[in-house]
Amino acid sequence: MKLQNKVALITGAGTGIGAAIAKRFVEDGAKIVIMGRRKEKLEETAAGLPADSVKICQGDVANADDVKRAVAETLEFGGGKIDVLVNCAGVNFPGSVTTIDLNDWNRFFAINVNGPFMLMRETIPHMQKAGGGSIINIASIGGLVCLSERVGYCTTKAALIMLTKQAARDFGADNIRCNVVCPGFVLTPMTEDHFGSMTEDAFLGSPMKRGATPDEITGICSYLASDDASYTTGAVITVDGGSTVIDGFEVGIIAASK
């Protein structure tokens, strides 16, 4: 119960990684407010969790009014404090510099960058008053390396990494820790929508030869939210099965030899 007495706001908590983090945090003792655009998905996440440990907040992280309301509801639910913010809401769809629609490009920034920025801006003053807190941003290995035809996704995830580092630099003296988790390929409804069912050949670029389950991303998030990570800030942590340590040329050789 290493998150006992912690109060957390988790975005993108209706499905995938966000839903898994929400459940793990409650298991570890936290009270949580889960935010997302689809109420029915949030209800699915909350189902089976103790009613006094979870509150649903339907809203869009790209909407400033929804962001302010989510933080206010978290403070109310948590007895006037917010210890942890997890920015997990995000979008991912294909496009290159020459093919992506401008409206889609702007949508990437609205959700993947502006949303976390606004939530951090609203949350940090309350953490300062309380003497500290933990912010965990969920980026991607796509913020560290390029993925084919994913210009909006990779650009905004890279921006989220730098936003995290900047906040760690600016608010470390306030005991506010800001860290970013970069998952590799995680088997979620969103990735299945984009890539379909994945065969073993799809994971030639991973030393572990498989994708991750959402639950495999939650342990590091629980650690970063806890007092065990009291001296961890500004960290960029990959949870990718080792994908980013493999050279692309080697992957090509492996594929050609099969």
3-state secondary structure of 12: coil
Give, in order, the Cα–Cα distances in Å from 254 to each of 206, 247, 251.
Answer: 12, 11, 5
Ramachandran sector of residue 47 (left: φ over 0; alpha: ψ -120 to 50; beta: rest)? beta
Angle between helices 64-77 and 115-130 (to 10 degrees): 30
Sequence-ordered alpha helix ranges (H) in the chain: 16-27, 39-46, 64-77, 102-109, 115-130, 151-171, 189-195, 215-225, 248-257
Angle between helices 102-109 and 151-171 (to 10 degrees): 30
* Under 8 Å between Cβ of 53 and 28: no
Does the annotation mark 223 as catalytic? no
**Burial class of residue 102 in the structure, from the number of CB atoms within 10 Å of its CB (0-12 exposed, 13-18 middle, 19+ buried):** exposed
Question: How far apart, in whole angstroms, are the C-alpha atoms of residue 255 and residue 258?
Answer: 6
Q: Which helix (H) or strand (E) holds 142?
A: none
> Which of 153, 155, 205, 240 does the annotation list as catalytic?
153
Question: How far apart, in whole angstroms, are the C-alpha atoms of residue 14 and residue 34?
Answer: 8
Q: Which residues are catalytic?
A: 153
